[in-house]
Structure 1
Amino acid sequence: MSETISVCCTACGRRHRYTAPSYPCACGKPVAPALDPRGTATVVTHRAWDEEWVGVRCAACGERGRWPRPELGCPCGAVLCVPVDEAAPGRSGRDPGSRVPAHRAVPIRTARDAVTAAVLYLRGLGHRDVRRADQRPLSGIGLAAAGLVVQVDPTAGPATARDVECLWLTGMAESARCVHFSLAGYARDARDRADLLGVALFVLDPTGVPRPANAPAVTLDATAD
């Protein structure tokens, strides 16, 4: 089962009970980072991509993956980085019945949550090497993996045909498949252009579950284990 520890907010002194979220390993077993009850939570004051992840080794198969660093929001407004023991193997929880329960554990409240949901979904498709893209897109957040270019749009407006075309041009330059995730869905011309160019469109619902929005996305989703 996932571990629960007491976390003290270093900004206001409040104490909270925190349970580590679990994520699906490639072997199918859910793993959660081992929390350090003797460590001290720190307030997040800035964001850096490399600092957003922790190494977690699956206790079932021994594979080591990178997962979102545990965080806790305090009512005082501070966001706390929960201490973890990266030397310890991750704790196993219950087997997920499908990919959906795993994604529902990451509800989307921020742009970072949207990226996390997209990364977890792509890892579920077998892309274990998902990383921040070298080239930043004109809008949204760019990700990349072997043979894949990805754009995550966490804004409140529907993605446009221009968004789809720019992603497709990047994929053409890198001979890679294109995948787009959007919180607000897609304009009609964006869907038409994506169908024509073979760009897979997914809509991220508030629970963090990516829903296929066109035929290329349905085809990609079918490759999941």
Structure 2
Amino acid sequence: MSESMPVRCPDCGREHVYAAPAYPCACGTPVAPSLNRRADPSAVTHRTWDEDWVTVRCGTCGREGQWPHPELGCACGTVLRVPVAGALRPLRSRDPNGIDRPARPRTAFTPVTIRTARDAVTAVALYLRWLGYRGVRRADQRQPNGIGLAARGVLAQVDPSIHPASLRDVECLWLTAMTESADCVYFSLAGYANDARDRADGLGVSLFVLDLTGTPQPVNGAAADLVATGA
């Protein structure tokens, strides 16, 4: 469980007890940003990529991943950005010449609440566009489970079932993507079987879990890299 700290709203003076949410590292360890007790929270008036994400290192495996910057909604309507310890820096990627470059800035993703399978497909289509993919459409080839989406250079699988995605599901998506020389991304509402996650890591398949707010969360290193760099 992550640490908690008192947070006072600068607008109305209300005091809250806040604990940063933890997200799973690619190794499976829950990781949460360390909160800075000496700094005051700030009201969110506008959003930028650098301020909306924070780089966090997993204490178990040492991987660095990007987590949403901790925020708290006050009853007065103010959204508070809770200070974290350490430097905030976006993950960096490499261009074809091997030179480090900053991750592409993007505005915050606006999710769509998921109530039906169609909502899940809509949420993923919007997320793919947010990542930078253009021309998102229904995929021509059907997969054993779920609904396929395609765009230039990528094939995505949306699995709204109540069962974790299986090893076969991940391998089928990867094989189909290979025939089209495309990257592949899997979005599941119910998560993934352990062997499916292991196989995805070996094949380089990006895995995301969809929550009911419609916000995909990366669950392996390939997905975290995709979020950091975009399409």
Please give the range of the TM-score, normalised by the shorter of the 2 chains.
0.5 to 0.7
1:188-214 CA-partner distances (Å, limit 9, x unpaired): 000000000000000001100000010
1:125-162 CA-partner distances (Å, limit 9, x unpaired): 11121000011111100110101011100000000010
SS in 2 for 1:152: strand
Please say if 1:221 is aligned against 2:213.
no
Alignment-derived partner of residue 83 in structure 1: none
Distance 1:97 1:154 in 2: 26
Please say if 1:98 is aligned against 2:98.
no
Q: TM-score, normalised by structure 1?
A: 0.54
Alignment-derived partner of residue 178 in structure 1: 184
Structure 1 counterpart of 2:124, one-letter code: A
Alignment-derived partner of residue 132 in structure 1: 138
1:160-181 CA-partner distances (Å, limit 9, x unpaired): 0100000000011111001000
Root-mean-square deviation (CA, aligned residues, Å) is: 1.7
Distance 2:230 2:216 in 1: 13
Distance 2:123 2:230 in 1: 15
Structure 2 stretches lacking a partner, 5+ long: 1-48, 50-105
Please say if 1:114 is aligned against 2:120.
yes
Alignment-derived partner of residue 159 in structure 1: 165
Which runs of structure 2 are paired with 1:1-225 in the superposition (5 Å)? 98-99=108-109, 102-103=110-111, 106-224=112-230
How far is 1:224 from its partner? 3.7
Structure 1 stretches lacking a partner, 5+ long: 1-27, 29-95
Distance 2:107 2:170 in 1: 33
Distance 2:159 2:169 in 1: 9
How far is 1:98 from its partner? 1.6
What stretches of structure 1 move > 2 A for 4+ residues in a row? none
The question of whether the paired residues in 1 share the 8 Å contact of 2:121 and 2:158 is answered with yes
Q: How many residues align?
A: 127
1:65-119 CA-partner distances (Å, limit 9, x unpaired): xxxxxxxxxxxxxxxxxxxxxxxxxxxxxxx9621xx11xx11110001001100
Distance 2:108 2:171 in 1: 32
How far is 1:223 from its partner? 1.9
SS in 2 for 1:175: coil
1:2-48 CA-partner distances (Å, limit 9, x unpaired): xxxxxxxxxxxxxxxxxxxxxxxxxx9xxxxxxxxxxxxxxxxxxxx
Structure 1 counterpart of 2:223, one-letter code: A
The question of whether the paired residues in 1 share the 8 Å contact of 2:149 and 2:155 is answered with yes
Change (3 A) 1:128 1:97: closer
Distance 1:209 1:192 in 2: 23
